[in-house]
Chains A and B, each alone.
Chain A
């Protein structure tokens, strides 16, 4: 019997640090462990004893890619607890800010992180040499998302204007209007980009799973709504911890989420949202979804790229609508009076549902904070997908096996950073 060990230094293009260990014997997986080192736990401790007004400046530091998501779950949760009535127009301005993050994060993931995998290329740099015009176009679209975030949130390390109660400074319409022609240009590009995505060779991983995301009666759920699942669950953010529970696993200090009643993993993210809310996609987004080859229901995780593109398109269309009709909230912020109690909220980060819970004292001091990021909700499912996917490809050479494992993990758009820096992979063949 031969024994081999393969170590590959980095799963690049994944936020954060972790390691994947696989031990195989013949065609069987003996052991598979995805280890993640996860500092959101640090932030939960760091928030204790802080005044509620500091929270919107602390939580965006958890992730350099989705700071808005962290701000939004926190701000909404605290506003709900304090019974704040935000000024008219705040909802739309927040949705615009969030759309900017969706555009930037989704385009980044599709073209710079995931597409090179599907094309069996080593990096986006290689892809840029092969498809320079496409890459220039998508970078232009990504930049529009980035510029929305700057105009609405401010040009700092993280958005600085979102506050509990509204915005410290609300963007003026004349500041947002110059984005319109660029958004319209971006929207025109989307169908052609969808046609390109449809040509990418896509691996298959048929599966049954429960997909969870926000649903809202009037709009595609981003900031507000109840949670629903593809197996018919319906619950509120306040019930989140009764429905989903985090398990400690021996091999990782990250927590894995499972459903309380079944003990089974579930799946959050763009594909879950599209499955739940396809009827609320905007017109071009609906066209883009079809062109990219996705029709719902669909649970194969490799359709996530098509779902991301549909959502990026939705975010562009929503941004156009919001800017056209925009009237700056006046005043930009409501008065906020803290009260003791517990606030809970879920918003949809680009990579999936993000739950925050705050226990607050009467004077507004945070007594306890709880954050359940989308990546930790998906971790158990990532391991399951790897176990399901690998048996069909175990005969491949180590280099290719490594690439395939990376592709399965990266396809989730994991934000392990929320942790640290490298994901190393080692495969032991017994």
Chain B
């Protein structure tokens, strides 16, 4: 379970926060490891030697078109993640989609579920925006449900 983002950049913190809030329930599941990372590029290393990953990150549709707070869920196929995840805000422009795509290109991609949250406010030092704050409970529930499903009975 990988939460990504910058805790000091408004809605960019949403991936970190959701994983943190889900932590009490996640730690009860067998075989689940929780990782909070600052940059999507670290996902390259985290995908090594695992069966499945859930990655939660802030996203922004390049041309708008998604309401802030919208939660998007996509699964990686043999070519990596679909387009929704490529608007992930992770650092260095080398984000989750690129990390998963790289693993896919090398034939080493595990099962990856990407959960993205459309952001509104990314100014350094600002709190979560109202729509993202409002989406948080449903997001945390989705994170837990995904982990339960993947962790198995």
Contact B125 A42 (CB under 8 A): yes
B116 at the interface (CB under 8 A from A): no
Do B39 and A65 touch (CB < 8 A)?
yes
Known: A9-B62, A125-B105, A135-B102. A146 touches B42 (CB 8 A): yes
Which residue on chain A has the smallest CB distance to residue B3? A157
Q: Which residues of A contact B123 (CB under 8 A)?
A: 39, 42
| Chain B residue, CB-CB nearest to A423 | B93
Interface-located stretch among B5-13, B64-72, B132-140, B142-150: B5-13
B41 within 8 A of A: yes
Nearest CB to that of A124 among chain B residues?
B102
Q: Which chain A residue lies CB-closest to B44?
A: A139
Q: Which of the candidate stretches A12-20, A278-286, A333-341 sits at the interface with the other chain?
A: A12-20
Residues of A contacting B60 in the complex (Cβ-Cβ under 8 angstroms) = 421
A420 adjacent to B44 (CB under 8 Å): no
Q: Tell me the chain A residues, 106-133 only, with Cβ under 8 Å from chain B.
A: 108, 112-113, 123-126, 128-129, 132
Determine which of B38, B98, B124 lies in contact with A157 in the assembled complex, contact meaning CB atoms within 8 Å.
B38
Q: Is B89 an interface residue (CB 8 A)?
A: yes
Is the CB of A156 closer than 8 A to any CB of chain B? Answer: yes
A64 x B80 contact (CB < 8 A): no
Complex-state Cα separation, A54 to B25, whole angstroms: 30
A63 to B92, CA, bound (A): 10
Is A143 part of the contact surface with B, judged by Cβ < 8 Å?
Answer: yes
- Across the interface, do A13 and B93 meet the contact criterion of CB distance under 8 Å? yes
Closest residue on chain A to residue B91 by CB atoms: A64
Contact A112 B38 (CB under 8 A): no
Chain B residue at smallest Cβ distance from A61 = B8
Q: In the complex the two chains form, is A13's CB within 8 Å of B125's CB?
A: no
Asked if A39 meets B62 with Cβ closer than 8 Å, knowing A10-B93, A124-B94, the reply is: no
Q: Is the CB of A128 within 8 A of B124?
A: no
Interface residues on B, range: 35 or more
A424 to chain B, nearest CB (A): 10
Quick one: closest B residue to A62, CB to CB?
A: B8
B122 at the A/B interface (Cβ < 8 Å)? yes
Tell me the complex Cα distance, A377–B77, Å: 42
- Are B39 and A64 closer than 8 Å at their CB atoms? yes
Q: Which chain B residue shows the least CB distance to A123?
A: B98
A43 CB within 8 Å of chain B? yes
Which residues on A sit within 8 Å (CB–CB) of B107? 132
Q: Which residues of B contact A39 (CB under 8 A)?
A: 9, 123-125
Smallest CB gap from A46: residue in B? B125
Task: Say whether, besides A61-B7, A67-B38, A132-B106, A420 and B94 are in contact (CB < 8 Å).
Answer: no
Q: Scan A136-148; emit 1 where CB is below 8 A from any B CB, else 0.
A: 1001001100100
- Is B37's CB within 8 Å of the partner chain A? yes
Q: Which residue of B lies closest to A126 (CB)?
A: B105
Contact A43 B37 (CB under 8 A): no
Q: Which residue of the partner chain, among A10, A65, A135, contacts B92 with CB atoms under 8 Å?
A: A65
Closest partner residue, chain A, to B90 (CB atom): A64
Q: Which of B83-129 touch A at CB < 8 Å?
A: 89-94, 98, 101-102, 104-107, 122-125
Q: Which of A6-48 contact B (CB under 8 A)?
A: 9-15, 39, 42-43, 45-46
Q: Which residues of the other chain, A, contact B39 by a CB distance below 8 angstroms?
A: 64-65
Q: Are B91 and A157 in contact (CB under 8 A)?
A: no
B38 touches A128 (CB 8 A): no
Cβ of A342 under 8 Å from chain B: no
Chain A CB within 10 A, most for which of B44, B80, B90, B92 = B92
* A-B pairs with beta carbons under 8 Å apart, 10 shown: A10-B62, A13-B92, A13-B93, A15-B93, A60-B38, A65-B41, A65-B91, A143-B45, A417-B91, A420-B122
Which residues of A are interface residues toward B (Cβ below 8 A)?
9-15, 39, 42-43, 45-46, 60-61, 63-65, 67, 108, 112-113, 123-126, 128-129, 132, 135-136, 139, 142-143, 146, 155-158, 417, 420-422
| Chain B residues within CB distance 8 Å of chain A | 6-9, 16, 35-39, 41-42, 44-45, 48, 60, 62, 80, 89-94, 98, 101-102, 104-107, 122-125
Q: Which 7 A-B pairs have the closest CB atoms?
A: A64-B39, A64-B38, A39-B124, A42-B124, A128-B105, A12-B93, A64-B91
